């Protein structure tokens, strides 16, 4: 590709045929791709949002309305589409909810930027305006939020129910039951850092799932469910008031680190060798028995002979357990993970009121439950089909994120599109006080926020324009500040009275992520095919399969 001419001579920078998008073409294409990704998930927003069926090349089916899952499963190729997928993943990791909202907002911000570019506004001006708007929106959000305390189960339940509103996991009673389980789990695992701030590690709320039964069979386990069976048929199938040893050591004869050869020249030597192996394994079991352990869980293997001796001593053994499950067991039972049997003593053991193997849908699973004040718990999800339990798993994960966000910050806002209308009104007022062209970008930011109530209205079969007009009118008065889209009655209503609450942290993260993604995309004015990390010839990725380019 000829990049420039110097004294009539062409200067070649890129190879002939290299793909490149320059200036306005790059910006317009990127904006269109961003809008297409947003449109792909737009219809899933809200309690009356639709589901998407994603079918892989192998025929695997995923049915969901979870924004992050849809985007993660979609086969996107365009780099801008991947940026949009990344913001949904970030939203999911940070707060666990609001993944669809953040993508819709980012798409609307890009749409607004496209309009301003056509009017001759420079991308840098738009970016500066968007930064100002995001900061102002954060401040308005803080002022509009309300306080929630950790013991306010009623408000936390409402926050959980809003998160579950769009999920296809049963009726109101079922959702209410799931909300209560999640609140109980969050409260159980929460901790305080050095400054006294509440922190919740989602990793210590294990969500285990198994097809079979119904969603109503979902249960809370005050401990850890391990998807393994007891190692030996001769071992007890349950142990009450169990003393648990967690081992990161194999109960086997380990191979030498260097190559070694043992020469045996007679049957007696062979017998002596086997007896020595037997004694080593017996000694291992004796050390476990001496510690007082009635249950052992190890990350590694257990020799058949060691299993036999453990069974003879009435000790339950579970082997090849994942490291993540070992950490959860340590948090739940209070046991220490031991790397040498010589170090094992009574003080290192944990406690569980019951360790029991149960058959669930034809498979054996071990329940470690009734722990004393466990800092790791399990929610065991059930459902009629694999698709149902998969969606239940995603739903529970979202609710954990929503409740945790509310507990950690102690703040929530009124949902149903109400807070977005309030933010939009505040930003329009702010824009009129800002000099320069940045105010046009701030106004577009305000319009982008209105996409949330507009989409909620569309998914409920309401007229989106009429709904927006009514909401704007209501929000001009102090009494109407909490009015939003009433999905149930297909009208506008007071969301505060209906208890439609969402965590402030979810909204703040969505605004921040959507704004940053739009800013990154708007800064791009040149797309060049690169060599890639391995130094091979690269090509410009194509469009987004299945996405409508608008």
Q: Which residues are catalytic?
A: 66, 99-100, 398
- The strand pairing partners of 369, in sequence order, are 354
347: how many CB neighbours lie within 10 A of its CB? 8
* C-alpha span between 495 and 109 (Å, rounded): 26
- Please state the three-class secondary structure of 377-435 as a single string: EEEEEEECCHHHHHHHHHHHHHHHHHHHHHHHHCEEEECCCHHHHHHHHHHHHHHHCCC
**CB distance 505 to 406 below 8 Å:** yes
Name 271's Cβ contacts closer than 8 Å, sequence gap at least 6: none
Strands (E), 77-204: 146-147, 191-192, 198-199
Query: Per-residue DSSP letters for 487-500?
Result: TTTTEEEEHHHHT-
Question: Six-digit token pair at 452?
Answer: 């949330």
- Please state the three-class secondary structure of 301-326 as a single string: CECHHHHHHHHHCCCEEECCCCHHHH
How many CA atoms, within 13 angstroms, populate the side-chain half-sphere of residue 68? 20
C-alpha gyration radius of the chain: 29
């Amino acid at each position: 590709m000829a990049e420039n001419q110097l004294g009539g001579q062409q200067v070649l920078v890129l190879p002939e045929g290299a793909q490149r998008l320059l200036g306005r073409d790059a910006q317009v294409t990127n904006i269109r791709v961003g809008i297409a990704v947003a449109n792909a998930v737009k219809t899933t927003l809200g309690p009356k949002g639709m589901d998407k069926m994603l079918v892989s090349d192998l025929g695997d089916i995923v049915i969901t309305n979870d924004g992050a899952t849809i985007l993660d499963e979609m086969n996107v190729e365009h780099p801008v589409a991947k940026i949009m997928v990344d913001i949904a993943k970030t939203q999911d990791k940070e707060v666990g909810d609001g993944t669809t909202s953040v993508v819709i907002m980012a798409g609307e911000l890009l749409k607004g930027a496209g309009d301003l570019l056509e009017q001759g506004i420079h991308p840098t001006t738009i970016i500066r305006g968007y930064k100002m708007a995001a900061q102002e929106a954060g401040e308005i959000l803080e002022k509009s939020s309300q306080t929630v305390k950790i013991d306010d189960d009623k408000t936390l339940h409402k926050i959980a129910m809003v998160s579950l509103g769009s999920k296809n996991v049963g009726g109101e009673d079922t959702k209410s039951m799931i909300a209560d389980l999640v609140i109980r789990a969050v409260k159980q695992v929460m901790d305080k850092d050095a400054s006294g701030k509440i922190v919740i590690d989602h990793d210590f709320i294990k969500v285990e799932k198994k097809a079979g039964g119904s969603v109503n069979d979902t249960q809370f386990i005050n401990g850890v469910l391990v998807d393994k069976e007891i190692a030996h048929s001769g071992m007890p199938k349950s142990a009450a008031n169990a003393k648990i040893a967690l081992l990161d050591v194999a109960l086997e004869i380990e191979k030498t680190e260097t190559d070694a050869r043992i020469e045996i020249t007679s049957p007696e030597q062979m017998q002596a060798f086997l007896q020595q192996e037997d004694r080593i394994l017996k000694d291992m079991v004796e050390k476990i028995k001496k510690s007082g352990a009635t249950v052992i869980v190890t990350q590694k293997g257990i020799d058949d002979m060691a299993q036999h001796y453990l069974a003879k001593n009435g000790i339950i053994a579970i082997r090849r357990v994942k490291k993540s499950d070992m950490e959860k067991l340590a948090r739940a039972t209070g046991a220490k993970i031991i790397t040498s049997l010589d170090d094992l003593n009574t003080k290192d053991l944990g406690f569980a009121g019951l360790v029991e193997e149960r058959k669930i849908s034809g498979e054996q699973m071990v329940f470690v439950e009734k722990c004393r004040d466990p800092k790791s718990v399990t929610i065991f999800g059930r459902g009629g089909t694999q698709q149902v339990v998969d969606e239940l798993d995603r739903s529970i994960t979202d609710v954990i994120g929503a409740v945790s966000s509310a507990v950690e910050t102690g703040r929530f806002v009124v949902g149903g599109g109400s807070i977005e209308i309030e933010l939009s009104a505040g930003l329009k007022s702010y824009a009129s006080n800002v000099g320069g062209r940045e105010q046009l970008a701030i106004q577009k930011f305000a319009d982008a926020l209105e996409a949330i109530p507009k989409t909620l209205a569309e998914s409920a079969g309401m007229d989106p324009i009429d709904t927006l007009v009514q909401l704007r009118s209501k929000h001009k008065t102090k009494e109407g500040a909490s009015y939003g889209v009433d999905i149930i009655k297909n009208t506008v209503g007071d969301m505060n009275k209906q208890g439609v609450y969402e965590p402030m942290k979810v909204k703040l993260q969505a605004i921040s992520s959507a704004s940053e993604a739009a800013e990154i995309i708007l800064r791009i004015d040149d797309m060049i095919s690169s060599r890639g990390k391995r130094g091979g010839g690269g090509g410009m990725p194509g469009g987004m399969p299945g996405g409508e380019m608008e």
